[in-house]
Amino acid sequence: MIKNLNYLRLLPSSQSAMCYTLIALILIFSGNAANASDKISLQLAWKHQFQFAGYYAAHHKGYYRRAELDVSIVEGGVGKFAREAVLSGRAQYGVAGAELLLHRKDGDPFVVLAPVFQHSPSVLLARKDSGIVNLQGLIGKKVMLLPGNKDADILVAFLNEDISPDKYQRIDQSYNLEDLIQKRIDAVSAYVTNEPWQMRQKGVAPMVISPMVYGVDFYSDCLFTTEKEIKSHPKRVQKFLHASLLGWEYAMDHPQEIINLLVERYKVNKTKEHLQYEAREIRKIMMPDLVEIGHMNPGRWQHIKRTYEKLGLIDAAFSLEGFLYTHYKPDDKQIKQILSGALGVIGLFAVGCGVLFLFNRRLAAEIKERKQAQKEMARQKERAEQYLRVATVMFVSLDLDGNVNMVNEKACAILECNKEEIIGRDWFDLFVPDSVQYDVKILFKNMINGNITGSEYYENEIMTSKGEIRYIAWHNTTVRDDHGKIVGVLCSGEDLSEKRTLQEQLIHSQKMESIGSLAGGIAHEFNNILTIIIINNEMNMRELSESNPALRRAKRIEVAGIRGKDVVKQLLTFSRQDSPTQQIIDMRSIVQEAMELIRSSTPANIEIQLNIAKEIHPIWGNGTQINQVIINLCRNAIDAMPDMGGLLTVALFNEIVADGFVRPHPALKPGNYAKLVVTDNGIGMEEKTLSRLFEPYYTTKPIGKGTGIGLAVVHGIIKRHQGFIDVHSQIGRGTTFTLFFPAYEANRPVQEGTAQVVYPNVTIDPDQLKMD
């Protein structure tokens, strides 16, 4: 009736008032006097939850009351089945699954009034991390099912895949999801509308295996009664069915109202977020926008019957006659009453037609105006969509539950997925990292609750579908309907990831430049002091005889002085304040010579793999310094594999750097490079260590094992050679240093430049380093 009267809302107020008046007159004259309300009971299949939303709506919105019915809704639970309640007469109506057909076969006089769910929510759940993705993966595994044939659709799905019951371990349902979460079983029968959400709240990703994938598609949550009820109270059955379906229509249109009702009146032991998830999933299997609620196709029941035949649970000759509800046939007295009422209605209808005819012309004009307004709205919508398509920022619109209802193409590009993968999904669960999710949700709730007015600026990280972290600057504003009620949030976001990376690189480069200048100044002063000490010590040594004990102390001073000069030299190299000779260098020979020295001092439990391409670009630089770079990097790699040994890979080959790689690394210029890669599979480094890797005297090695100057020297040498160094490391996986040296070109002037150290999230595959 609600759907049939919806068109009245489109009429002008005067005309709609006239129409409602006519309908009221028809109901008054054609209806009988109100009888006392019939008291009946409805037995639910399980405990109070959104699964039975339509019946709560019918009760609390007055649909049952207007149908002169006093309905008690009885909660189900473990061991409380609707079949037994209806069969015993404790309830006149019940809710159950397609197994009602088997009960009918066994002699129970059940009649299905309407299947509320067009598809069964019954599924098998497994842990996603178990590797089980289909029924074949459950062979030999523990599968928990409802007793008997109550999970018939799942049992048949197994048979359709030629998996007989003896190929898996069947365990009776314990109704405790912890059995799956704690890995006591491998799979459990469940409702897709409920248990997957519970698993996610426990931090366990579910794997859903649906019987529909294997050709088994059952009705579910069928409203049923008995032959006796239909025969004794045919009108009551009609009124109860009609009022229940009206309740379901209302519940589908107002899910949040029913959720509040369940929490406040029925004290359901679920959060509103859980009930909202249940409502969304139920809408998917009811399909109220495509299929009339309660629609029943006899052909589908024949399919269900054939499915049961495969299990040997029903004979092919069994007839569905009497099992599916059809409206009752009135007797002669009822026919006379109907005809009498119909004549009255016809008379009133004729009067109504005359009245409506007077408004027809005005209505036609208003319809024309409305169509023009709709065309204008369509043009505006198309224009807005064009703006969204060409926008250089991402747009995301969220409903009150945080589900995405609109995204533009820029957002899809940043999130690395298409619209179909985003629309209808929970924005926070899908794209907001756990580390910032709480704060972002608080902001969202404040906005939808009206605690924040105007546009709200906010910056936070998001995670793309491929797991990449991006930093977005958001401008958020609430969306309101025609009545001023907040219905969602519209967010426009600018991707600041590249800007932040460049800013961090600039800060790091400036920091290293400052440290280099400081180190150079200190080194010069220290060098002057050392020179005086060493010269005076040499003069003293000449005056001392071999037998003099002071000569031994003087020699110690000499050794310490030489070590001090080496440290000064390294500092000057780091700060680029020395002046070594530069010339054209053959990188092949430099690498080979350095690796011969490394091999002679490398422990036997460390394997060295050297991969050098046949043709390597020459570079302009100092061979001694390049040799020092290779030795320093290899020694660090060896120190990272102290006890367990490992693999040290050194590769040298040519590389063409294109514009796409240069943009995030401004220290590089497009062109030809000699590329040196040093990789180990040692202990790796954490982010904190990586951020300070090239600072002088910073070391994580024990005292006496390292000075902390080696990598600082490497950094200074790379800068002198206009090069670029890239570091990637993972704890427990190892470290990769990638060095770029500009290829020497005779017609290109050679001048000092600056290098920049970055830490991109790029993994070097050792297999890619091997050369022919």
* Close Cβ partners of 517 (under 8 Å, ≥ 6 residues apart): 575
Lowest mean per-residue pLDDT among 16-20, 165-169, 441-445, 482-486? 16-20
Query: Does residue 768 carry a pLDDT above 70?
Result: no
CA nearest neighbour of 154 among 131, 122, 129, 125: 122
701, 638 contact by CB (below 8 A): no
Q: What pLDDT is stored for residue 23 in this prediction?
A: 44
Q: Is residue 184 part of a domain?
A: yes
Q: Say yes or no: 206 and 302 in one domain.
A: no
Q: Is residue 387 part of a domain?
A: no
Q: Say yes or no: 143 and 115 in one domain.
A: no
Burial of 510 per CB tally in 10 Å (0-12, 13-18, 19+): exposed
Q: Is residue 355 part of a domain?
A: no
Query: Does residue 1 carry a pLDDT above 50?
Result: no
| Token pair listed for 739 | 């060095």
Q: Say yes or no: 649 and 706 in one domain.
A: yes
For the ranges 25-29, 290-294, 479-483, the one whose mean pLDDT is highest:
290-294
Q: Residue 155's domain is classified under what CATH number? A: 3.40.190.10
Query: Does residue 581 carry a pLDDT above 80?
Result: no
Mean pLDDT, rounded, for 158-180: 92
- Choosing from 495, 525, 556, the residue where a domain stops is 495
* Close Cβ partners of 628 (under 8 Å, ≥ 6 residues apart): 713, 714, 717
Rg of the chain over Cα atoms, rounded to whole angstroms, equals: 40
Q: Say yes or no: 171 and 279 in one domain.
A: no
Mean pLDDT, rounded, for 686-693: 82
Q: Residue 461's domain is classified under what CATH number? A: 3.30.450.20
Mean pLDDT, rounded, for 439-450: 88
Residues paired with 741 in a beta bridge: 674
What confidence category does residue 381 fall into, taking pLDDT thresholds of 50, 70 and 90?
low
| Token pair listed for 439 | 């704060």
Query: Does residue 160 carry a pLDDT above 50?
Result: yes
Lowest mean per-residue pLDDT among 175-184, 288-297, 522-531, 645-654? 522-531
Query: Does residue 679 carry a pLDDT above 90?
Result: yes
Lowest mean per-residue pLDDT among 497-501, 664-668, 682-686, 732-736? 664-668
Mean pLDDT, rounded, for 666-690: 87
Q: Is residue 680 part of a domain?
A: yes
Q: What pLDDT is stored for residue 3 in this prediction?
A: 39
Query: Does residue 456 carry a pLDDT above 80?
Result: no
* Close Cβ partners of 139 (under 8 Å, ≥ 6 residues apart): 163, 167, 168
Lowest mean per-residue pLDDT among 141-145, 183-187, 355-359? 355-359
Q: What is the DSSP annotation of 383-441? A: HHHHHHHH-SSEEEEEETTSBEEEE-HHHHHHHTS-GGGTTTSBHHHHHS-HHHHHHHH
Lowest mean per-residue pLDDT among 547-561, 618-632, 673-687? 547-561
DSSP 52: G
Residue 338 or residue 366, greater confidence: 366
Q: What pLDDT is stored for residue 49 in this prediction?
A: 94
Helix axes 710-720 and 623-639, enclosed angle (nearest 10): 140
| Token pair listed for 313 | 């649970």
Q: Is residue 28 part of a domain?
A: no
If one counts the domains in the chain, the total is 5
Percent of the chain with pLDDT over 70: 76
Q: CA-CA distance, 281 to 270, in Å (whole number)?
A: 16
Work out the number of other CB atoms within 10 angstroms of the CB of residue 105.
15
With b for 16 or more beta-carbon neighbours within 10 A and e for fewer, the 672-707 pattern comes to: ebbbbbbbbbbbbbeeeebeebbbbeebeeeeeebe
Mean pLDDT, rounded, for 370-390: 65
Query: Does residue 112 carry a pLDDT above 90?
Result: yes
736, 678 contact by CB (below 8 A): yes
Mean pLDDT, the chain, whole residue set:
81
| Token pair listed for 160 | 């359709």
Q: Is residue 683 part of a domain?
A: yes
- Residues 490-538 have pLDDT tens digits of 998 888 877 776 666 655 555 555 565 556 566 666 777 777 888 888 8
Mean pLDDT, rounded, for 14-25: 45
Phi, psi of 122 (to 5 degrees): -70, 125
Q: Say yes or no: 93 and 148 in one domain.
A: no
* Close Cβ partners of 266 (under 8 Å, ≥ 6 residues apart): 48, 56
Residue 164 or residue 758, greater confidence: 164
Q: Say yes or no: 707 and 635 in one domain.
A: yes
For the ranges 88-97, 346-355, 519-528, the one whose mean pLDDT is highest:
88-97
Sheet strands (E) in 658-710? 671-680
Q: Is residue 737 part of a domain?
A: yes
Q: Say yes or no: 140 and 197 in one domain.
A: yes
Lowest mean per-residue pLDDT among 167-171, 276-280, 445-449, 643-647? 643-647
Q: Say yes or no: 613 and 745 in one domain.
A: yes
Q: What pLDDT is stored for residue 757 in this prediction?
A: 34
Residue 616 or residue 716, greater confidence: 616
Q: Say yes or no: 610 and 748 in one domain.
A: yes
- Residues 33-63 have pLDDT tens digits of 334 578 999 999 999 999 999 999 999 999 9
Mean pLDDT, rounded, for 424-431: 90
Q: CA-CA distance, 131 to 187, in Å (whole number)?
A: 12
Q: CA-CA distance, 496 to 503, in Å (whole number)?
A: 10
* Close Cβ partners of 579 (under 8 Å, ≥ 6 residues apart): none
Q: Say yes or no: 470 and 515 in one domain.
A: no
Alpha helix stretches (DSSP H) within 67-165: 82-88, 100-105, 152-160
Query: Does residue 327 carry a pLDDT above 80?
Result: no
Q: What pLDDT is stored for residue 526 in this prediction?
A: 72
What confidence category does residue 5 fall into, taking pLDDT thresholds of 50, 70 and 90?
very low
- Choosing from 527, 551, 575, the residue where a domain stops is 575
- Choosing from 327, 353, 370, the residue where a domain stops is 327
What confidence category does residue 571 fall into, taking pLDDT thresholds of 50, 70 and 90?
low
Q: CA-CA distance, 555 to 537, in Å (whole number)?
A: 8
Q: Say yes or no: 107 and 133 in one domain.
A: no
Q: Say yes or no: 438 and 491 in one domain.
A: yes
Q: Is residue 745 part of a domain?
A: yes
Lowest mean per-residue pLDDT among 159-163, 454-458, 470-474, 545-549? 454-458
Q: CA-CA distance, 116 to 222, in Å (whole number)?
A: 6
Mean pLDDT, rounded, for 108-135: 94
What confidence category does residue 223 fall into, taking pLDDT thresholds of 50, 70 and 90?
very high
Query: Does the pTM exceed 0.85?
Result: no
Q: What pLDDT is stored for residue 392 in this prediction?
A: 75
Mean pLDDT, rounded, for 106-116: 95
Residue 569 or residue 736, greater confidence: 736
Q: Domain residues for 546?
A: 501-575
What confidence category does residue 661 fall into, taking pLDDT thresholds of 50, 70 and 90?
low
Query: Does residue 279 carry a pLDDT above 60?
Result: yes
Provide the pairing of β-strand 110-117 with 220-226: antiparallel
Q: What pLDDT is stored for residue 32 in this prediction?
A: 42
Tokens 């070594």 sit on residue:
580
